[in-house]
Structure 1
C-alpha cells in the first residue's frame, strides 16, 4: 500500500526532517509483500498494521526488563532477544529446541556523530538475575582488547562509559548469561530513491507483519529505526537491491523448512514461495535474509533477530555483495548460523556484530540446489563474533565438487566461541574439492573460565548435564582446525553423494596463512592447532603460522600451544 509521510533522520541530540527525503513509501499491510507485482493502492492511516501471522515458538518479545540505557541524556530503547543458554546440540530431530535451553539477553542500538565522546549510562534493573549480587559481581565489557572501562556505581547499579567511536560490544554482569549487547553506529546516511518512486519499500517506526518480502531489481528496502518487521527477505534473481536502516527484521513467527507446512501457521513463507514456483529446497534455507543469484546487493545497518535457520544466506553465484554494520542477535534455533557466503564472489563483510547459536561467518563451497560456481574473493573485516556452539570463522564445503579461493578474515574480535575459533573443514568431500589462498590475520580470540563444555543431546529426555551457572571442567575452544570429516550415517541423507558412491574423492588445501593471532584466556589446557585428518584423501600443502600469541606470549610448539599434525601435511612453517 502507498502511504504519504516524511521520514526523519535522527541524531543523538535532535531530529531533523529534510524535505529532500520526503517520499512516498510502501508499507506492508498484507501477510506477504511481493514487490514484483505490487501496485499502488489507496492511502492507509499510519497506524494500519496487518494481523500477526506465523506460529511463534514463544510470545513476542517486549522491551528489556534487565537493563536501561541513556546516551547523552536521551533514553534509548533496550530490546530483548532469545539466545542459547547452554551449548547443547543434536542432529535435526524434526522439531525445534525447547525453550528451557534458552535465556533472554538484551540489546540496544543508537547513532551518534562522535564529534565528542558519547556518554552512555547503563542501569541494571531489578529484574536482572544478578541484581542482588551486583555489588560484588565481576563486570566485563567485550572485546577485552578494546579496554572499555566504565565507571561503576555499585550502589545505584550503573555503569557510565564514554565512547569516542562507533563500537559493537557486550556487557556481562557476573558472567555470560543475560548479557547486554550494545550497537553504537555512525549516523545513518543513505541515499533514497526520489519521492513517489516504486523503487522504495519503507517500514517506518512501529510493528509490521510483512511475511515474505520479495524485492525486484533496483529496489531499496528501508527498515527505519524503531521499526520491527516480522518477516523474511528473499532477493531472487534481482540486481542492485539495497536493504538498509536501523530497525529490526524478526523471523520468529516462521518455522524451519523441515518442519514447516505451507497449509498451517508458521508455513506462510513456504506458501508464498511455492505459489511463485520457488523450489522447496531453496525455501528450506530461508532465514532472515536470503539472496539467490543476485548482483550488486547491499545490506547495511539493520538488526536480524531469531532466524529459523541461517540468518543471512548469500548463495547461488551472487556477485559484488556488500554487508556492512549488520547486527545479528537472538539466534538460538538449530543450525542458526550468522552469515553464510555460498558459491558467490566478490563479497565484502565489514563492521558487523554476530551472536549466533551455530557457526558465525562461513565461506561455503558448492552445496545447495543449483549451485555450480566457485566461492572466490571473500573479504571479512572489522567484525565482532560470539558463537554459542560451532565455529566462529570457517571455510566449509560438503560432498559436491567445489572450488574455494581468496578468502580473507582479518581484524576480527572473537569474544566467545565453543568448539573451534578458526576452521577449515570438508564434510566427506568430492572427486574435486580445493580450498586455496585462505588467510586469517589480526584476530583476537577470548576464552573464559566460565565457559560451559559442549554436549550432544542424545534424545528428547536427555538434559544438559551441568547447571548453566557452573562449569565442572575448564573448556577451551580449539584455536584452529583444518581437517576432513566423515559426518556419519545420520548426516548422509543431507548430501548429494554418500559413501556408497564409487568416485574417488580428492580434497586439497593450499596456501593457508594464520598471522597475528592473539589468544587471551586460561593457560591450561593449552589451546590446540590441528592440521590434517590422517586420511590420504586430504592433502594440505603450504600452511604458514606467524606471530601466534598465547596470553601475549609468543608461541612456537610445543609450548604454550599444542600442535597436532598428520602425514598428509607438507610444508608447514611456524614463525614467532
Structure 2
C-alpha cells in the first residue's frame, strides 16, 4: 500500500515538476556512455558518462524534478547518499524513482556495490554566464571534446566550460588576481601520466572562484591553492581514483571557502598544509588562517583521509579551521576520518568540526598525532590546541577507534572537546566508551 501511494505521488508530482526549469546537456558524440545505467529527468533522457569508478550524470534545474534510474540488471536494494537527505524512493523491478525539489549531489548505490555507483549532480540554474565574445573569457563550447593541453589563466580572466563540453587538459594560474573557472562541463585529466599535471593549480593568487564544473581522473592533486588568499570553491565535483589525487589541497593560504562540493578521491578529500613544494619552487610556508569547509559531500577511497590537516605543517601556525555541515558517506582506507597529522613545527589551533555526519568509517575515526613522519622537514615539533567537535554522528558496520597522541612533554595535544559526539547511537562521554587512546594529551572534555 505504501509503495502504491508513493507511486501515485510521484506520478502526480511530474506535472508540478514540469512547471520548473530543467536544463539538460547533450554529450559530445565521442563521449563514452556508462553501460549499466540509464537516467531520465522529467521524462527527458540524460546522458550517463562512464568513469573508471562510477557512472555520472548532470543537469541543472529549479522547482521540482522527477528522477528515474534504470539499472540494466536486477535491483534487490539501493542506497541514496547522503542518507541525511532522507530521499524517499520507489523501487520497481530494475528502476529507482524519486523526486528532488532542490539541487543535490548524490551517490546512488545499487545492491550495496560501492565500486560502481551512479553520481547524480543536480545543479542549480546558472547565472551570469560569460559572453564568449569577451576577450577575457576562455570559452569551451558544448558538444565537443577539447584538447588544449595547458591553459594558463591571467589576471581578470574567466574560463568557462559549457555544459556538454569535455576539456582534456589542465589549468594553471600564477601570481594572478580575479580569476574565475566556471561552468557545468567536465575537465578531464586522464591524458596525463601519474604525477604529470594537476587538473587545476592556483599559485600565489588572490580572489579566485571555481564553480560548477566536474573534475575527473586527477593525476595529482585535483585543485590545489598554494600561497593564495580569498579562494572560493563552490559546487565543484571531483570524481577520481588515482594515486595522489587529493581533492582540494589548501597550502599556506588564507581566507578559503569550500562550499557545496562533492569530492570522491582515492587520496585525501580535503588536505590543509603549509610549506609544500612538490610542484613549486616558491615559498609556501605561510600561516594558514580562516579556512571553512561546509555543506559538502565526501567519499574518501582506499588511501588518505577524509578531512585532514597535515602532514606538512611548515609554518608557525595553522589556525581558525572550520568543517561544518558535511556528509562523509564513505571513508574506505585505514588512515582516518578526522585527522591532524602535525609533522612539522606549526601550532595547529582553533579547529572546529560541527554538524558532521559520518556514514562509514573504516580506519581511525579521530587520529591526531604530533610526530616525525616521512614528510617532515622541520627539526622542531609542533602542537595541537583547542579543537572542538560538536554534533557529530557516526554510523557504519564497525565501531571505529580513535587516538590523540602528543609527541613529548613539551609538544602536546591540549584542549579537545567532544560535545554531542554520537557513535552508533551511543554518546561519547569518556575515552573508554569512545575507544580513544591518549598520550601526552591534556584537557580532553566530553559534553
* 1:112 match: 61
Paired with 1:159 and 1:238, the residues of 2 have a C-alpha distance of 46
Q: Report how far residue 348 of structure 1 moved.
A: 0.6
* 2:133 match: 196
* 2:105 match: 168
Q: Report how far residue 112 of structure 1 moved.
A: 0.7
**Residue 338 of structure 1: which of 244, 247, 259 is its match?**
247
Paired with 1:412 and 1:78, the residues of 2 have a C-alpha distance of 26
Q: Evaluate the alpha carbon distance shift between residue 336 and residue 536 of structure 1 in structure 2; reply closer, same or farther with a 3 A threshold.
A: farther
Could you list the per-position Cα deviations for residues 534-567 of structure 1 after superposition, in whole angstroms to 9, with x for gaps in the alignment? 544631111111000123332223564211111x
Report matched runs for 1:8-407 at 5 Å. 12-13=21-22, 62-83=32-53, 105-114=54-63, 117-125=64-72, 131=73, 133-134=74-75, 137-154=76-93, 157-175=94-112, 176-192=114-130, 196-205=133-142, 206-257=144-195, 260=196, 286-315=197-226, 317-329=227-239, 331-368=240-277, 369-370=281-282, 371-389=284-302, 390-398=304-312, 400-407=314-321
Contact map agreement 1:447 1:477 (CA 8 A) in 2:
no
Paired with 2:23 and 2:298, the residues of 1 have a C-alpha distance of 32
> Gapped runs of 5+ residues in structure 1?
1-10, 16-46, 50-59, 84-104, 126-130, 261-285, 449-475, 498-502
Q: Going by fraction, where is strand more abundant, 1 or 2?
A: 2
Q: Report how far residue 14 of structure 1 moved.
A: 6.5
Could you list the per-position Cα deviations for residues 329-376 of structure 1 after superposition, in whole angstroms to 9, with x for gaps in the alignment? 0x2221111110111000111000000001101111222232132111
Moved over 4 A (4+): 11-15
Could you list the per-position Cα deviations for residues 404-438 of structure 1 after superposition, in whole angstroms to 9, with x for gaps in the alignment? 110100000000002311111123x2xx3211111
Contact map agreement 1:507 1:537 (CA 8 A) in 2:
no
Q: Evaluate the alpha carbon distance shift between residue 14 and residue 145 of structure 1 in structure 2; reply closer, same or farther with a 3 A threshold.
A: closer
**Structure 2 counterpart SS, 1:82:** coil
Contact map agreement 2:370 2:383 (CA 8 A) in 1:
no
Contact map agreement 2:370 2:381 (CA 8 A) in 1:
no
Contact map agreement 2:274 2:313 (CA 8 A) in 1:
no
Paired with 1:570 and 1:336, the residues of 2 have a C-alpha distance of 35
* 1:573 match: 445
Q: Evaluate the alpha carbon distance shift between residue 387 and residue 399 of structure 1 in structure 2; reply closer, same or farther with a 3 A threshold.
A: closer
Contact map agreement 1:120 1:161 (CA 8 A) in 2:
yes
* 2:352 match: 439
Q: Report how far residue 402 of structure 1 moved.
A: 4.2
What TM-score, normalized to structure 1?
0.69
Q: Evaluate the alpha carbon distance shift between residue 438 and residue 483 of structure 1 in structure 2; reply closer, same or farther with a 3 A threshold.
A: same
**Structure 1 counterpart SS, 2:178:** coil
Paired with 1:12 and 1:68, the residues of 2 have a C-alpha distance of 21
Contact map agreement 2:23 2:60 (CA 8 A) in 1:
no
Q: Report how far residue 232 of structure 1 moved.
A: 0.4
Paired with 1:61 and 1:481, the residues of 2 have a C-alpha distance of 41
Contact map agreement 2:22 2:59 (CA 8 A) in 1:
no
Bigger-Rg structure (1/2):
1
Indicate yes or no: 2:437 matched with 1:521. Answer: no
Q: Evaluate the alpha carbon distance shift between residue 483 and residue 426 of structure 1 in structure 2; reply closer, same or farther with a 3 A threshold.
A: same
What TM-score, normalized to structure 2?
0.88
**Structure 2 counterpart SS, 1:308:** coil
Could you list the per-position Cα deviations for residues 10-69 of structure 1 after superposition, in whole angstroms to 9, with x for gaps in the alignment? x84479xxxxxxxxxxxxxxxxxxxxxxxxxxxxxxx9x9xxxxxxxxxx9611111111
Contact map agreement 1:366 1:397 (CA 8 A) in 2:
no
Higher relative contact order (CA 8 A, sep 6+): 1
Could you list the per-position Cα deviations for residues 424-463 of structure 1 after superposition, in whole angstroms to 9, with x for gaps in the alignment? 1123x2xx32111111110000127xxxxxxxxxxxxxxx
Paired with 2:181 and 2:23, the residues of 1 have a C-alpha distance of 25
Contact map agreement 1:367 1:397 (CA 8 A) in 2:
no
Q: Evaluate the alpha carbon distance shift between residue 163 and residue 570 of structure 1 in structure 2; reply closer, same or farther with a 3 A threshold.
A: same
* Cα RMSD after superposing both structures: 2.1
Paired with 1:164 and 1:319, the residues of 2 have a C-alpha distance of 35
Contact map agreement 1:550 1:560 (CA 8 A) in 2:
no
> Gapped runs of 5+ residues in structure 2?
1-19
